[in-house]
Amino acid sequence: MAKATKGAAPRAKTPRKAAAAPKSTKTSARSGGDVFAAAEAKPAAGKKKAAGPKAKTLLRIPDMAGDAVHNAVPGFRKAKLQVKSGEAQVEANRNELAPIATRLFAEAWVAQGGPPEKPVALVNRDGEHLTHVLQDKTALAVLSDDVRDELVALIPGAAKLLVEETQYAIDPAVLAEEGVREAIAAAIAAADITDEQRAGLLVAKKVHRTRESLVPHLLTLCGSDADCLADALNILRGPLTRYLNA
């Protein structure tokens, strides 16, 4: 410690300024802010970039395992390739048959005044047949924007059977942050959370959903037009599943 100079008056200590209190980013319930509107305004999350190839871990079969085990490796690969080849042939034949099957199914629908009576079979000139299966999953089905737009463009009257909904989901990462779950349990409107948490809490997604099954209405909406009905079947190939089976 330095010695004080004789005769010099002691220096007065300058009082330290009190540290500024950190600004709180929390907002009270009364400050407003619609978490649902904030969720709708958020841009959709982009797709994550694919990770690079991972290094392989090689599990080497020892010689003592025997020929049967070692030969099973190429045998498995060969059988797997045969299965894939068979699946490719099935897919090629399905693609060849799908247009005519859809057209004939639509014509039978018009002729019978409703979905064709089951069982339905697609028969060739030699009498060989495949079962044609229809599964109606259109009741309360969620339609993509493209499917909804195509269907309404083809059949404007179908719009009355659809409803637009906004689905909300809670972001689990935000929910896991300290204090957020407890605040939500009390009430979202009164939650003592930050503006950032409040804005990011809900994720909104607008969807188009059917009010009921579309099957009973398709014939009327298409005006008994087989071409319109066939196009509608193709547009609704997701919720109105049709497939051929041997």
Strand, coil or helix: 105: helix
Q: 187 with 224: CB under 8 angstroms? A: no
Domain of residue 226: give its range: 67-139+212-245
pLDDT for the residue 139: 93
Question: What is the rounded distance in angstroms from the CA atom of residue 82 to the CA atom of residue 80?
Answer: 5
- Are 81 and 128 contained in the same domain? yes
- Are 83 and 183 contained in the same domain? no
- Are 190 and 221 contained in the same domain? no
Residue 242: its H or E element: strand 240-245
Residue 170: its H or E element: strand 162-170
pLDDT tens for the chain, 246 residues long, are 444 444 444 454 444 544 444 444 444 444 445 666 667 777 666 566 666 777 778 889 999 999 999 999 999 999 999 999 999 999 999 999 999 999 999 999 999 999 999 899 999 999 999 999 999 999 999 999 999 999 999 999 999 999 998 887 778 788 788 887 777 666 666 667 777 776 777 777 888 989 999 999 999 999 999 999 999 999 999 899 888 888
- Are 101 and 204 contained in the same domain? no
- Are 222 and 206 contained in the same domain? no
153: in domain: yes
Number of domains the chain contains: 2
Show Cβ contacts of residue 86 under 8 Å, excluding neighbours closer than 6 positions.
none
For 30, the token pair is 């009364």
For the whole model, what pTM was predicted? Answer: 0.62
- Are 128 and 240 contained in the same domain? yes
Q: What are phi and psi of 38, to 5 degrees?
A: -65, -35
116: in domain: yes
46: in domain: no
- Are 180 and 89 contained in the same domain? no
What are the helix (H) ranges across 118-163?
145-154
- Are 71 and 172 contained in the same domain? no
235: in domain: yes
- Are 134 and 155 contained in the same domain? no
pLDDT for the residue 207: 86
- Are 77 and 126 contained in the same domain? yes
pLDDT for the residue 156: 95
Show Cβ contacts of residue 100 under 8 Å, excluding neighbours closer than 6 positions.
122
- Are 185 and 95 contained in the same domain? no
pLDDT for the residue 22: 47
55: in domain: no
Question: What is the rounded distance in angstroms from the CA atom of residue 161 to the CA atom of residue 210?
Answer: 6
12: in domain: no
- Are 130 and 171 contained in the same domain? no
Show Cβ contacts of residue 230 under 8 Å, excluding neighbours closer than 6 positions.
102, 103, 105, 106
